Amino acid sequence: MKTEDVLESCIFEFRKMKQRADRALAQVSAEDLFRKLDPESNSIAEVMKHVGGNLRSRWTDFLLSDGEKAGRHRDMEFVRSETDTPERLLQSWESGWACLLETLHKLRPEDMERSVAIRGETHSVIEAIHRTLTHSANHVGQIIFLAKHFAGPRWQTLTVPRGQSEQYTAGMIQSQDGGYLSKG
């Protein structure tokens, strides 16, 4: 597989991950964004701030500076402040994702051979991409879990509806004109 294909695959997965998180976020109230399951848990709002801050820090000047920017205050991402509103959270969330995706789209095949630093530790560009992919997936999973918990019976599934795996798979195969099964 060519490095351009790997990059395009990662971009596709990032977009799909964000889309699922956004669909989960749309199912909770503004009040639920700030709720915690217990004192040691993070709220959806805190996770959104953290992901936004992480993505902006890592992907601003990605090839030129350390991914942990001096102006980032990571610990404050996990503290509710009086300026935290649903609108500001969404703005932080969106700006982080935009930074990531814009940077990924600007990478050239030769950039994939370069090295970058994150907290002084050297990573290949592809390692840095995978690091962000796994980190973001972890936190998107937390958002989805909390959103589903808070939405309760109002929850609209994001992937395969419970108890409908066979129908879903059959529909996917049919919508792809037989998919890989008919090309055998």
Per-residue pLDDT tens for 20-29?
999 999 999 9
Residue 178 located in a structural domain: no
Per-residue buried b or exposed e for 12-27, using 16+ beta carbons within 10 Å of the residue's own CB: eebeebbebbbebbeb
Q: What is the pLDDT of residues 64-117, one digit of tens each?
A: 999 999 999 999 999 999 999 999 999 999 999 999 999 999 999 999 989 999
- Share the mean pLDDT of the chain: 93
Q: To which residue do tokens 């959806």 refer?
A: 44
Separation of alpha carbons 75 and 128, rounded Å: 22
Residue 175 lies in a domain: no
Domain presence at residue 61: yes
Q: Which residues contact residue 53 at a Cβ distance below 8 angstroms, ignoring those fewer than 6 apart?
A: 72, 73, 74, 77, 92, 96
Written in H, E and C, the secondary structure of 70-104 is CCCCHHHHHCCCCCCCHHHHHHHHHHHHHHHHHHH
State mean pLDDT over 45-57. 98
Distance CA 29, CA 15 (A): 23
The enclosing domain of 82 has a CATH number of 1.20.120.450
pLDDT at 177: 62
- Mean per-residue pLDDT, 122-138: 97
Q: In the chain, how many domains are there?
A: 1
Comparing 147 with 161, which gets the higher pLDDT? 147
Once rounded to an integer, what is the mean pLDDT over residues 40-51? 97
Q: How far apart are CA 59 and CA 103, in angstroms?
A: 6
Which pTM was predicted? 0.89
Does residue 166 fall inside a structural domain? no
Q: Alpha-carbon distance 47 to 71, whole Å?
A: 19
- For residue 97, being part of any structural domain is answered with yes
d(CA 167, CA 158) in angstroms, rounded, equals 16
Percentage of residues of the chain with pLDDT beyond 90? 82
Q: Identify the band that residue 170 occupies on the pLDDT scale cut at 50, 70 and 90.
A: confident
Q: Residue 165 falls within a domain, yes or no? A: no
Q: In which domain, by residue range, is 16 found?
A: 3-159
Query: Is residue 172 situated within a structural domain?
Result: no
Residue 168 lies in a domain: no
Encode pLDDT of 155-168 as tens digits. Answer: 999 988 888 888 87
The pLDDT of residue 179 is 52
Of 160, 137, 145, the residue nearest 24 (C-alpha): 145
The stretch 4-30 carries a mean pLDDT of 96
Model confidence at 178, pLDDT cuts 50, 70, 90, reads low
Q: How confident is the model at residue 183 (pLDDT cuts 50, 70, 90)?
A: very low
Residue for token pair 């937390």: 142
